[in-house]
């Protein structure tokens, strides 16, 4: 089941670099969710849409006063070897007659998962990229030998033929992350020559449902085109999220979003095991309440607008039924449902609490496999 809500509007926006090297960025009159993973470089102007605190070491300042040292440089030094740059030609660039298109390139960032060359990044970083190269922190370049992509989560796995790489340490969960705690973002902003750039900020919010299938971490650490696929780090040097998008508009600043570590791990496990995400679905299309769409607090249920799968029909679900709970848990948004379904696989059975023809009823439903089609999607975003 695709997980974008009706209200979400996404724009994949690249930064354009002209012959002079001057930067120009597109701006919209209203805030839009902009995926930051691909920074596009072109001779011709081509528009691309698209913790716990660690114990700080003590040092002695002038006058012999003991003060806490800054752990940020140490974290950056430790984690940077686990961050890579990814660059290649885009399908969009190759399809246009632009003469010498050697500079029609797009790039992003990745994080080393395993020492034998497995790397996690965003799907929108590598999707449609040809002749791609991965550049490690020591300046070595590698071709991508294998890749697996999941569009729904925007997580992708790529493989390079390398050994003895330094994997990043992922936090077991981002559930212990606190709003206000310091974070560091590493990536490749704007120009590929700026690999392993670091920015610092705080966690601005948690459990954000913004143009995404699953809940996101919000941060004010600067995340620019080319940063997507890079890590968001806590003060232990652990990856708590993979940077994916930001809001971009005139007057809107420092609103970046990262995919939480547990969602990354969920997708990665599935990709390693199946080569795809074996994602379950209820087999119905769902409409969120007005409150859920505009972001008001509340637990108003969703309404079934279409019954799609044979399993859902067999369970006795009907158009117009109102869904209150799944396995005893209140569900009021598509994102809520997607988060819950991460614990299941197709073929398993769940219990639904519904209002049907004015009566409160329960139904046993065998989960179908999400095909990613619009019929399974429920509420979908309008892509700009």
- Catalytic annotation, residues: 124, 154, 228
Q: Report which DSSP code applies to 171.
A: P
Element (H, E) at 290: helix 290-294
- Rounded Cα gap, residues 226 and 303, in angstroms: 39
Q: Per the structure block, which two tokens stand in for 105?
A: 């390139």
* Helices vs strands, H then E, count in the chain: 8, 28
Q: Which two tokens stand for residue 311?
A: 């399993």
Give the whole-angstrom CA distance, residue 341 versus residue 211.
18
Beta strand pairing status for 32-35 and 9-12? Answer: parallel
Instruction: Give the residue among 15, 14, 9, 44 at the shortest CA–CA distance from 30.
Output: 9
Q: How many CB atoms lie within 10 A of CB 316?
A: 15
CB of 283 closer than 8 Å to CB of 311? yes
What is the token pair recorded at 193?
């020559």
Residue 104 is encoded by which pair of tokens? Answer: 């029609």
* Cα 187–chain centre separation: 14
- As given in the structure block, the two tokens for residue 37 are 């993973």
């Amino acid at each position: 089941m695709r997980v974008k809500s009706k209200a979400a509007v996404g724009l994949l926006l690249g930064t354009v670099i002209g012959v002079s090297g001057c930067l120009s960025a597109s701006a919209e009159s209203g805030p839009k969710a902009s995926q930051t993973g691909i920074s596009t470089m072109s001779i011709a102007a081509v528009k691309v849409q698209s913790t716990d605190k660690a114990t700080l070491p003590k040092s002695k300042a002038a006058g012999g006063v003991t003060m806490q040292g800054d752990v940020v440089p140490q974290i950056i030094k430790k984690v940077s070897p686990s961050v890579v740059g990814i660059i290649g030609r885009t399908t969009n660039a190759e399809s246009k007659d632009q003469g010498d298109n050697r500079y029609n390139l797009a790039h992003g960032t990745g994080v080393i998962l395993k020492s034998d060359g497995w790397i996690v990044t965003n799907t929108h970083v590598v999707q449609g990229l040809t002749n791609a190269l991965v550049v490690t922190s020591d300046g070595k370049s590698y071709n991508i030998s294998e890749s697996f992509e999941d569009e729904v989560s925007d997580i992708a796995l790529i493989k390079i033929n390398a050994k003895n790489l330094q994997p990043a340490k992922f936090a077991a969960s981002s559930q212990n992350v606190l709003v206000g705690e310091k974070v560091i973002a590493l990536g490749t902003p704007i120009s590929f020559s700026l690999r392993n750039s670091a920015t610092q900020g705080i966690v601005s919010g948690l459990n954000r449902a913004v143009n995404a299938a699953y809940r996101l971490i919000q941060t004010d650490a600067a995340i620019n085109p080319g940063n997507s696929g890079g890590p968001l780090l806590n003060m232990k040097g652990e990856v708590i999220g993979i940077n994916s998008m930001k809001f971009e508009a005139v007057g809107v600043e420092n609103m970046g979003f990262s995919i939480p570590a547990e969602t990354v791990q969920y997708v990665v496990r599935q990709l390693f095991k199946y080569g795809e995400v074996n994602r379950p679905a209820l087999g119905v299309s769902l409409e969120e309440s007005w409150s859920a769409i505009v972001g008001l607090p509340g637990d108003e249920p969703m309404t079934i607008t279409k019954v799609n799968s044979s399993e859902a029909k067999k369970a006795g679900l009907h158009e117009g039924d109102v869904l209150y709970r799944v396995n005893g848990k209140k569900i009021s948004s598509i994102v809520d449902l997607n988060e819950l379904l991460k614990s299941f696989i197709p073929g398993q059975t769940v219990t639904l609490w519904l209002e049907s023809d004015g009566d409160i009823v329960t139904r046993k439903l065998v989960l179908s496999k999400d095909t990613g089609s619009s019929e399974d999607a429920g509420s979908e975003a309008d892509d700009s």
